[in-house]
Amino acid sequence: MTSNVDLCDIQGNILRPYAMKEARFVFVHFDDPAAGREWLGSLVDQVTTAEPWPDRASKPATLNFAFTSSGLRALGLSACHLGTFSQEFQTGMAARPKELGDTGTNCPECWEPWWRDQQVHAMVEVHAPASPEIDTLLAPVDDAMHRHGIRSVGKPQQASRLVVNETQVKEHFGFVDGFGQPALDIDAYDKPKAGQGTPDGHGAWNPVALGEFILGLPDEEGVLPEAPQPAELAANGTYLVYRKLQQHVGRYREYVRAQAGRLECTPERVGASLIGRWPDGSPLVLRPDGPDAALGADEDRNNDFLYDKHDASGHLCPVGAHIRRANPRDALKLSAQLVSRHRMLRRGITYGPELEEGQRDDDNSDTRGLLFMACVASLRRQFEFVQGQWLNDGNIFHLGEDRDAMGGCHDGSRKLTVQGCPPRFLPNVPEFVTTRGGEYLFKPGISAMRWLARQG
């Protein structure tokens, strides 16, 4: 499998998380196709690839690009070629609220205007250890935009990881994050950790086929995923989901405290029931009675578990907990291969300052949250299926109208069931997360970007 992977032609943060502390996302609009192509052609040689780095110091900052459907059209891509992209990509995220459950305050009419009105044609991504290095790398990008008459739209999106220690980061609700990434069979990279791939039924884990994430490579069924044409446009590319999610930290803290008082337990216990892990990362399936920081920090053990095998009843980890709904593993009576067909390479990063304990949170101000990003070969089968069927619909989990507390759309009328003898309920789950914008983008290979720059 790995012999056919051209890491030099794949954009770097498709296959590897950069894990740098700072990031900035600049949103670009093309008014003139020729100018847009010239701008892209002048920068493509600076794009960071998926080649292994000798050491972290060799890459002080990274540069990557992704394009919307309207952006490819604005670059002059023909209707014939554009029509070969997936329908979800062509219509865009804002046109699919039914499939994604984007209702109420999550509806596209409430999004940031550049996402709501599909003004974004390209997204420039820069990651670096610190902001000055981002400024340095963006300088030639800005110069090229000025030189070719390219303009930005909206506000550049700043992002910064909430660092716990050298190996761990957390999200704004206080939970260590980044677990459960699909294992990739790439010789040049570190060996995957237990629990990251597909269970083989004998206690071990197999890597997920690269074609589930990279176009032009075989998927879990051994076939090439549907891809845009011509082949040189699709080769080594991927679809990128970008979704800006405001996190209502104050609302979350008030809820878990109130439920802890009602159920006579700790707020940490309530939060763990919602998420499926303790804040330190230790999973409920392995540590149902309390957190274990050593386990949470151990990458060889903290993700090595199954649900149907270890906790079919949900008495250890609630069936409706976030991590269990987002990746059911061996549950649902589905084959492991079928579950792997819904996996995503997540590349998210937090934005905004951490809310200190006792500090007031302004729900009306989009101050902090998560930039959810995921690379997939199929927007419909991977992201939209998980969002619509696993997070926003409880039927497949036999949970009725229960929705995922973190990823589902909430109006305060639904509950979360905590299985047990007797079962308990977390009622009236409020909206902890609000979608503020997003889009489907195409992240081409390096040669494909050169091909785009030559068109016309």
Q: Is the pLDDT of residue 58 over 80?
A: no
Q: What is the mean pLDDT of residues 401-413?
A: 94
Same-domain pairing of 387 and 450: no
CA angle 23, 277, 195 (to 5 degrees): 80
Q: What's the chain's length in residues?
A: 456
- The per-residue DSSP string of 327-358 comes to --TT-TT--HHHHHTT--EE--EEES----TT
Q: To which H or E segment does residue 255 belong?
A: helix 249-263
From residue 17, give the alpha-carbon distance in Å to each of 14, 55, 237, 258, 313: 8, 15, 16, 37, 34
Same-domain pairing of 133 and 282: no
Residue whose token pair is 């720059």: 453
* 82 φ/ψ angles, rounded to the nearest 5 degrees: -65, -30
Q: What is the pLDDT of residue 305?
A: 94
Q: Is there a domain that residue 202 lies in?
A: no
Domain count, the chain: 2
Q: Is the pLDDT of residue 181 over 70?
A: yes
Same-domain pairing of 285 and 353: yes
The token duo for 263 is 């159920």
Same-domain pairing of 319 and 398: yes
Q: Is the pLDDT of residue 371 over 60?
A: yes
Same-domain pairing of 375 and 450: no
Q: Is there a domain that residue 185 lies in?
A: no
- Which is more confidently placed, 316 or 2? 316
**What 3-state DSSP class applies to 144?**
helix
Same-domain pairing of 356 and 444: no
Q: Is there a domain that residue 428 lies in?
A: yes
User: Which range is least confidently modeled, 109-123, 319-333, 426-440?
Assistant: 319-333
Same-domain pairing of 147 and 275: no
Same-domain pairing of 234 and 291: no
Kindly report, residue by residue over 255-268, the tens digit of the pLDDT.
999 999 999 999 99
pTM of the model: 0.96
Q: What is the pLDDT of residue 19?
A: 86
* Confidence label for 193 from pLDDT (cuts 50, 70 and 90): confident
CA torsion angle for 403, 408, 412, 418 (degrees, to 10)?
40
Kindly report, residue by residue over 10-28, the tens digit of the pLDDT.
999 999 889 899 999 999 9
Q: Is the pLDDT of residue 362 over 80?
A: yes
Kindly report, residue by residue over 283-315, the tens digit of the pLDDT.
999 999 999 999 999 999 999 999 988 999 999
**CB-CB neighbours of 147 under 10 Å:** 13
Q: Is there a domain that residue 93 lies in?
A: yes
Q: Is the pLDDT of residue 3 over 60?
A: no
Q: Is there a domain that residue 325 lies in?
A: yes
**Amino acid identity for residue 369 in this structure:** G
The Cα 431–Cα 67 span in angstroms is: 31
Helices 33-43, 131-148: inter-axial angle, 10-degree rounding: 140
Q: Is the pLDDT of residue 324 over 80?
A: yes
Residue whose token pair is 């291969």: 337
The Cα 403–Cα 407 span in angstroms is: 8
Q: Is there a domain that residue 239 lies in?
A: yes
Q: What is the pLDDT of residue 1?
A: 44
Q: Is the pLDDT of residue 186 over 60?
A: yes
Q: Is there a domain that residue 265 lies in?
A: yes
Average pLDDT along the chain: 94
Same-domain pairing of 236 and 264: no
User: Which range is least confidently modeled, 45-54, 109-118, 239-248, 373-382?
Assistant: 45-54
CB 72 within 8 A of CB 455: no
* Confidence label for 363 from pLDDT (cuts 50, 70 and 90): confident
Q: Is there a domain that residue 188 lies in?
A: no
Same-domain pairing of 90 and 122: yes
Q: Is the pLDDT of residue 212 over 70?
A: yes
Q: What is the pLDDT of residue 168?
A: 93
User: Which range is least confidently modeled, 89-98, 230-239, 383-392, 394-403?
Assistant: 394-403
- Which is more confidently placed, 356 or 58? 356
Q: Is the pLDDT of residue 59 over 80?
A: no
Same-domain pairing of 32 and 150: yes
Same-domain pairing of 6 and 52: yes
Q: What is the pLDDT of residue 430?
A: 97
**Amino acid identity for residue 128 in this structure:** A
* Confidence label for 334 from pLDDT (cuts 50, 70 and 90): low
Q: Is the pLDDT of residue 86 over 60?
A: yes
Kindly tell me the burial class for residue 331, based on how many C-beta atoms sit within 10 Å of its own C-beta (0-12, 13-18, 19 or more): buried
Which residues constitute the domain of residue 287?
Answer: 247-437
